């Protein structure tokens, strides 16, 4: 696989649903290491972008490269095998399966000898060790989010994409998710869609602003003045 300093490179991307175009001429890159936040108002196209990159929506124009390789010809499973993990905003777990069964489903891209080793994710989320036999559907919303993230991490993705991981989650669980992402982002790439701006601006190295399907701003998280301006645009 080609080497690249970017985990994700999007060029002139356009996408949407049937006759409804949602994304317009998007071009950007995500670094191979670190956390990038994608923010915007409801309906801006953030979830559509993640689903398009993950392979669930076929773009109408443009290119998507993962780690230097164009993946337009590949579906979701092949993209997962190439190192992409995706945690959707809703239905991130299989409710009728146990926590352990959910986690094991996340290791499909690993060698068979590693697929049942839960050590990695249990070190990131120690609380799950006592919940392995519990049905995921009986857990709280925050706990289910934790299981969904852990399942995606079972495959040790080089690019982890997450859609609203803190939505409706108790602040104690938010802190655990934050700690996990900071740790994982030290050696991997994370693209996170999030409405909680304080959460993402504390952990991200760059912030992308999507407005009505158009990428309008790219802000370095160290530029506090620009971050405050961005927050103002989203809260008006």
Ordered by start, the domain boundaries in the chain are 6-235
**What's the confidence (pLDDT) of residue 2?**
55
Q: Is the confidence at residue 212, as pLDDT, over 80? A: yes
CATH number at 6-235:
3.40.50.300
**What's the confidence (pLDDT) of residue 236?**
61
pTM value is: 0.91
Output the average pLDDT for the chain.
90
| Tens of pLDDT, residues 99-158 | 999 999 888 777 777 878 899 899 888 889 999 999 998 988 888 888 999 999 998 999
**What's the confidence (pLDDT) of residue 117?**
85
CB of 54 closer than 8 Å to CB of 224: no
| Tens of pLDDT, residues 6-27 | 999 999 999 999 889 999 999 9
Q: Is the confidence at residue 3, as pLDDT, over 70? A: no
């Amino acid at each position: 696989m080609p080497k690249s300093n970017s985990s994700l490179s999007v060029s002139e991307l356009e996408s949407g649903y049937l006759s409804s175009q949602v994304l317009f001429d998007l071009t950007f890159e995500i670094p191979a290491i670190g956390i990038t936040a994608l923010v915007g108002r409801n309906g801006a196209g953030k979830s559509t972008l993640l689903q398009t990159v993950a392979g669930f929506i076929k773009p109408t124009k443009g290119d998507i490269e993962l780690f230097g390789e164009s993946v337009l010809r590949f579906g979701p499973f092949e993209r997962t095998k190439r190192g992409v993990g995706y945690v959707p905003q809703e239905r991130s777990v299989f409710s009728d399966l146990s926590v352990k069964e959910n986690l094991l489903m996340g290791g499909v891209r690993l060698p068979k000898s590693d697929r049942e080793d839960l050590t990695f994710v249990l070190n990131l989320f120690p609380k799950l060790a006592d919940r392995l036999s519990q049905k995921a559907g009986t857990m709280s919303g925050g706990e289910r989010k934790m299981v969904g993230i852990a399942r995606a991490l079972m495959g040790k993705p080089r690019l982890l994409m997450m859609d609203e991981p803190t939505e409706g989650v108790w602040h104690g669980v938010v802190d655990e998710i934050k700690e996990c992402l900071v740790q994982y982002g030290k050696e991997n790439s994370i693209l996170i869609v999030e409405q909680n701006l304080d959460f993402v601006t504390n952990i991200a190295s760059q912030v992308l602003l999507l407005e009505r399907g158009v990428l309008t701003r790219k802000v370095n998280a160290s530029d506090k003045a620009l971050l405050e301006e961005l927050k103002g645009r989203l809260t008006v």
